[in-house]
Structure 1
């Protein structure tokens, strides 16, 4: 009888373990149509330019190389390719764009292996090279600004946090808040955005600056209700942006900022499955962390215009 019970328990444990393992293996990411761009900032034309300047044959060769080397599962590839598209969109808009995910960076690395095709893509899409070169230390200020802009341009969900680490764990610098409150449109463009880019990108930049200025003014005027904002599992995190700005501006320490922001985040939310950890307890970067202008880790790399 004892042996039968032990055998049953062992078999049940095996089945549970296999179910958990299969659940992890079957995890898949949502690939948004049109890269999940928001429709109010003129990104449609810039995305069309990006996709039209990336030949299907080139994209297919890159995919074959990455999957063949076992860097990304075939069923997950389209998701990471979508995130690379988002990175290239940001690279046409911002002066500096951190790269926070190793797998997205692997696709970028593979693109570079096809030298002539990559050079032609960059020239047709952006008008100049998107360089992938060593760069120096990434900062929490850059991370917070990245999240603010990323959240304004793209739809996000729980999978975004799995990919990049949880958002809203780093406060915007008071200097950035003051700049977007005080500087003119042209001064902000010169400081934070690409000044030599395509007409499609320039259109997005103008609209984006207006949105970011509105975000700051909206918070400083007290026109929003911070108690009504809360990040829930699987939902778009754009509702957290006013809170991010408010607590960045009013909290005196990083720990205080984290405590206030976490009051509006689900305490049970898991951050497993993501490829880059980023939390209130510290800022860490992957060994392949790259950026459009800046990055972190001793073997960091990046792209610059």
Structure 2
């Protein structure tokens, strides 16, 4: 596949700047409502270790739902595939990511997949640790290992804002606890989850994580297996089927790259034999996906024939 240099990437980013105000920043989390829609960035981390980027590449944003891929990988490492999928399903959902509806429709009441909020909360509950601090510490250490960058940390202001406004996620946790999908303290699990979602990254750090998944869980520089190959494959499969909320089907047709979005405006994509791509654009469409991120990935996929299909 053709490599893009930074000048080419900058020109493609300039082509989609006009879409920066087509949506709205997430305002149901107070701290995210302060984001500037004009802050845009993109990065590609190739499998040979080269990273190219354009735009506001040093701008940090929180992972939000992109963290669901990372927590799933850690939960699989901690517990194994059978344990995880006894409690969380593997099927896509056409409902919004925060819906409780499907939980009420199924018996047993386990979430349909790990990429909707109910499933992600159940996955976070599976991460090993004696308390919330230890679990969060393990998630951060895992991030440091994947990026070889120990500067990555939690945005405490966003975490506190999310924790205080997480009424729906609390409801989901109580429902899951009632039906024995999760165990332990509700507030502790919510604390871990909101901090997991509030980990700050820039596009270069995020594209390196995407490249790690593309490289079958193996670090690009040390060649160390950080995520077992089979678990990396599972995570990428969920990115295809459920990664873009209830727009995943349309995204698969238009773009065709395994990807996961977050309501801060980040998108992480992972493409075998190519590398990781990340885009940041805080303005969201009605499904909760970055408007600029979707448009740019569609252009890149079509121009350079990146679709896996």
Smaller-chain TM-score range? Answer: under 0.3
More helix by share: 1
Q: TM-score, normalised by structure 1?
A: 0.27
Whose radius of gyration is greater, 1 or 2? 1
Q: TM-score, normalised by structure 2?
A: 0.27
